[in-house]
Structure 1
Amino acid sequence: MSANVDKKEFSLAALRTEGPAFREAVADAALDAPVPSCPGWSVADLIGHLGEVYGFVAEHVGRGVTSRPEDTAPDRFAPPSGVDLLTWWDDQYQKLVALLDSLDPELPAWNWAPQSKTVAFWHRRMAHETIIHRWDAQFATINAEPIDPKFAADGVEEVLDSWLPAGRRRGPTDLVGIVGLCATDVEREWLVRLRADGGVALLDTDTLLDTDEHHERAMARGTASDLMLALYGRVGYDLLELSGDVRLLEALRTGCA
């Protein structure tokens, strides 16, 4: 199998695990209950948002072209007035999973990131969209369970190689230096360069030599789950083992998925 096929199966496994966990978390919740990790949102908003995103992706991902869709506003897929929200979400989720399962990950498909314009991007994106909102739903209704370490490590990498280079960040853009992140439970490490122009670069740690001068100015160590949640602003960096100029870590935050 190609690397993209392997990644497809990995992402679909996450989507099939996290989707039912999201539904279970919201099924018995009051729809007007607040979602503390997404300020201003209720459980109904969370269900609606995730279903809208599923509908938007399902509409464009199988077109076989890399051109931007004419309308990229997911709220076009908002649940109809008076619909049973969970029944509607079930339909959106099942249609998306079936579609993504049927598509070749190398089929051309538009995306908003500096990544290959293929369906593989959306296999991964929909997995992590579901993962982070499953955590939101559990945090709002029951005790939130940590994210699976392998899924979380990939989620950290997606923030660093897609969200931040695409300019989807909520932290300061005027800081310069190198930040290290270490997932202690899966033995993964990332080095990120904050550039003077406000951009970011994910350094390839596999090609760096022991003699290279990394000049790390901040380091955060912890579980892959805590790292991913911190990058999304769901938990504070104080859950992690920190060293150096910890202000730099704020430059890696992205927003509500």
Structure 2
Amino acid sequence: MRTLRLTLAFDGTGYAGWQVQKGQPTIQGVLEAKLARMTAAKVKVDGAGRTDAGVHALGMVASFCTSATIPGEGFCKGLNSLLPSDIRVLEVAEEVPGFHARYSAVAKAYEYRLDFGATQLPTARLYAHHLRQPLDQAAMQVCLQALVGTHDFASFEATGSRDRSQTGGRGAVRTLFAAGYRESGAGSLRHGLFQFVGDGFLRHMVRNLVGTLIDVGQGRLTPVGFTKIMQARDRSLAGPMAPARGLFLRGVYFDQAAVARACEIR
């Protein structure tokens, strides 16, 4: 059996997330159906993560095993001819036995996009969260610096996403290698971009972080208050969850050199 790695991009607007769900369109479900058609066999695709409904990807990685002899380039061209236009395979590469898109990964990068101004352009409405007022970037930068390192991020994980009675594993502890924010453009074409690189992310963690950072940027919360929320490990104290449409999985990384490049946030 061969192990193949897929790198893909997708517009998550019309999907109920990555993972197969009965009666719902999902990225994994569509991929598995098209691979089964190409190989004439059932194929299980493992993703590097489970993106939520409406979340997009620029560099999702998935892996699958097959006895088919189709070369990687053939899989890439064949899948793109079968897949809907909102999913595109960017690369298919041979991998060593035992490679797994999720368990072999050492880091992931996410970005969250904002639009500013009185009116959001209709072409951006599915790909960025709209804010009418500017943000205090200096206050948010203090919070972003505090996020870098190894912390318990329980205050920013989805309520009910983890069995708190289970004491094994690392719980809500994750390491962020980089966290940043920048703005560009002007007027109704002014944009904001949050960027996060870490060894793993809890369910809804990035969207909850962004919602709380926006509270800081809009003056509803101070950097000191943000730090206290981090330390409290209590989701009820953090800000609202930002909408899914602004979130993009930027990349998945499998070696430290790639992680270092991903951390060069501009």
TM-score (norm 2): 0.30
More strand by share: 2
Larger Rg: 2
Greater relative contact order, per chain length (Cα 8 Å cut-off, separation 6+): 2
TM-score (norm 1): 0.31
